[in-house]
Structure 1
């Protein structure tokens, strides 16, 4: 009998597992851009623990193992910033990334969200495909280095969710 993946708020006890998973997941991004100094690979456990206290951090668990995570926070202007969407490589391509994205949007919707915003690298086709599938559209691109441009995508919050929270 197989276990199912559950998604719930991350706790302080999840921080080390999330950091290790983040390090594993961002190896392919670092390789794609030839840059192993990207922030997800240099973030410290203390930095991650501090993030757990700001906004929402969700963890996807298979039993006791954290196999995915996502972070989000709402700014004063009503923009919900979503970041750090990671799924263990062996769990990818099974819909978990989409489930995490939908779960963080639902959590953030209660905070008078007008729009959701996230970013990814311009060569990260899998990420771009996932975000477009969930209704995100490109609103900007910023060149960060010779090999990396960051693509920013947004989608408007559902009118009924915004009205319910107003």
Structure 2
């Protein structure tokens, strides 16, 4: 099913669908850390729309439905990638891999790529490491959550 999904640049008119999908996709993360106040669940539509001015935002579509998304921006030669989401019914169909590779290609001017996930998010960590990302610094956010930052050089992405 994942191969029938097209990936392209999002338009600000996609923001509402992206935000609804983001809310759905981050429920599992919130439950994992027993924290429903995480930023992806509290982000406003206005805030997401503002990101279209500063970030490259990609969507995966199955027909007219947005079933995945990722966004990123380049800062000091480092592409900071975030909010990689895939609709639960399409997970395990390589769509996350396709979205991550697509955002890396869009941000190809970067020297390095960086992303992060929670320390208990084993599926995310496995995906990122499989795609060449290496764990680096760990930032303790709360007693329940530490963020693991992973990086890879752009040469490895090409």
TM-score, normalised to structure 2's length? 0.96
Preserved contact between residue 3 and residue 63 of structure 1 (Cα < 8 Å): no
After TM superposition, list the pairs within 5 Å mapping 1:9-88 onto structure 2: 9-75=9-75, 77-88=76-87
CA offsets 1:48-91 (integer angstroms, 9 cap, x no match): 0001121200000000000000001001x200000010000000
Q: Indicate the SS of the match to 2:144.
A: coil
1:98 — aligned with what? 97
For the aligned residue pairs, the C-alpha RMSD in angstroms reads 1.6
Q: State the distance in 2 between where 1:106 and 1:119 align.
A: 18
Aligned to 1:53, the other structure's residue is in SS state helix
- Contact 1:3/1:62 (8 A) holds in 2: no
List structure 1 runs of 4+ shifted beyond 2 angstroms: none
Aligned equivalents of 2:10, 2:113: Cα separation in 1? 21
Distance across 2 between alignment mates of 1:160 and 1:41: 30
SS of the aligned residue for 2:139 comes to strand
Which residue does 2:149 correspond to in 1? 152
Q: Is the 8 A contact 1:57 1:72 kept in 2?
A: yes
Give the TM-score, by structure 1 length: 0.91
How many angstroms apart in 1 are the aligned matches of 2:102 and 2:17? 20
Larger Rg over CA atoms = 1
Task: Show structure 1 runs of 5+ residues with no match.
Answer: 162-166
Show the counterpart of 1:119: 116
Distance change (3 Å), C-alpha of 1:159 and 1:86: closer
Q: In structure 1, what is the equivalent of residue 127 of structure 2?
A: 130
Find the residue that maps to 1:35 and give its secondary structure.
coil
Aligned equivalents of 1:94 and 1:3: distance in 2? 8
Structure 1 counterpart SS, 2:107: helix
CA contact under 8 A between 2:132 and 2:156: conserved in structure 1? no
| Distance (whole Å) between structure 2 residues aligned to residue 92 and residue 120 of structure 1 | 17
**How many pairs were matched up?**
157
Shift of 1:13: 1.2
